[in-house]
Amino acid sequence: MALPDIPLADRRRLLKTGVALGGVGLLGGCATAGRAVSPGFRASPPLAPIDARPDRIMGVTLCLRPFRAAGPRLDAEMVGDKLVVHNYGHGGSGWSLGWGSAQIAVKTALAGGARDVAVIGCGALGLTAATVAQRAGARVTIYAKERLLDARSARATGVWSPDSRIALAGSVDAGFAAQWEDMTRRSFRIHQQYLGLADAPVEWTTRYMISNTPPAAPPDPMGFAHYGERIRDLTPRPVPLEPGEHPFPAPYVRRASLPMFNIAAYGHTLMNDFLIAGGRFELMEFMAPAQLATLREKVIINCTGYGARALWKDESVVPVRGQIAWLIPQSDVNYGVTYQGVATVGRRDGIGVQVTGSDESYGFNDANEAPDRAESDTAVTTIASLFRTRPG
């Protein structure tokens, strides 16, 4: 389009700012009259509000996260003539650390040359351990009392949280931080292989941390281990937003981008891939280690999660109760918010709303798996306050 007969300096200024001339934008009609717009930039669409009402709760799930002060158990022992490699006790980090943890367990399991491997448990740790062993050339059978969708792992939020209640800082050995970092980086790389697949088993989502007071580190009365700075290069740093850059009625908002697991789709993908590659699944419940003698495999990877507390009489496993209210899915809500001790995650199969408390000790050593509907109603109502229509 020809420019009007105006001085060269003004032409350059107009080309840089994209100011409309005569009501027609210089950037192919994308600019707005009288407003400076960077070439090629398009503002993000407004966020679809979460329809947070208690009558939209379609279910409430409970998960007991298996916390160990010393971190996950990854050692091995002989039970009769069976080599048992342990892989449990990941706190709130099972989905996030599964692949890296599995590689440690599988390396130990196959070190003696065995090629027939049993995996006990069909949750996040069991499925990833079975897959890693299978990819290493082993013939694998999963033995579990339930498939993934009935296991505790299926009741998790599915957020990327590799150091959530992973250990107590004062109870780990000197090499744990480095081991954790290695597990995290290995897991992160494999998770990226599931991006872009049908049903989005893994995808990146946006999280908004909302507060009425300046952001500050939460209290940590128990001294949980936190290693986020060791993997700061894996995800973008949270960005503080100005009031005009978000729709929330609060003065302090930060935005972060993090991976998320759509657990129903992810578990379905993992199980299908395992079976297609020749894996076997058998329903079986173990009440005592002596039952392992009935298995034909000589090498067993124990991925029983919180169930290991009873099966192995392991009192180092402490439950951390987590309850999630699931709202009816909204296809246009693919983000999450945290506000006043409540967190949400927008997944393809529902919007999870969970009371997280003021710090990570919330739910610690609480083995109650009975749903508390009043807690869920309060959590949903708290989130609803962010989306009330404001006058004017």
Instruction: Tell me the pLDDT tens digit for each residue of 30-66.
Output: 333 344 545 566 566 689 999 999 999 999 999 999 9
- Superfamily of segment(s) 54-384: NAD(P)-binding Rossmann-like Domain (3.40.50.720)
* C-alpha span between 200 and 87 (Å, rounded): 27
pTM of the predicted model as reported, rounded to 2 decimal places: 0.87
* Domain ranges for the chain: 1-43, 54-384
Give the other-Cβ count within 10 Å of 137's Cβ. Answer: 8
* C-alpha span between 89 and 81 (Å, rounded): 24
Q: Which residue's structure tokens are 């039970």?
A: 79
Nearest by Cα to 148 from 127, 118, 120, 119 = 127
**Residue 52 phi, psi dihedral angles, 5° rounding:** -95, 95
3-state secondary structure at position 384: helix
Contact 306, 319 (CB under 8 A): yes
CA-CA-CA-CA torsion sign (173, 302, 62, 60)? positive
Q: Tokens for 302?
A: 């124990």
Question: What confidence score (pLDDT) does residue 390 get?
Answer: 54
* C-alpha span between 234 and 188 (Å, rounded): 8
Contact 123, 135 (CB under 8 A): no
Question: What confidence score (pLDDT) does residue 392 get?
Answer: 43
How many residues belong to the chain?
392
Buried-exposed string 336-355: b where 16+ CB fall within 10 A, e elsewhere? bbbbbebbbbbbbebbbbbb
H helix or E strand, kind and range, residue 241: strand 239-241
Flag residues of the chain having pLDDT under 70.
1-45, 389-392
Contact 217, 237 (CB under 8 A): no
Q: Which residues pair with 241 in a beta bridge?
A: 253
3-state secondary structure at position 388: coil
In whole angstroms, what separates CA 341 from the centre of its chain?
18
Nearest by Cα to 43 from 55, 32, 28, 57 = 32
Question: What confidence score (pLDDT) does residue 391 get?
Answer: 46
CA–CA distances in Å: residue 207 to residues 96, 212, 256: 17, 17, 5
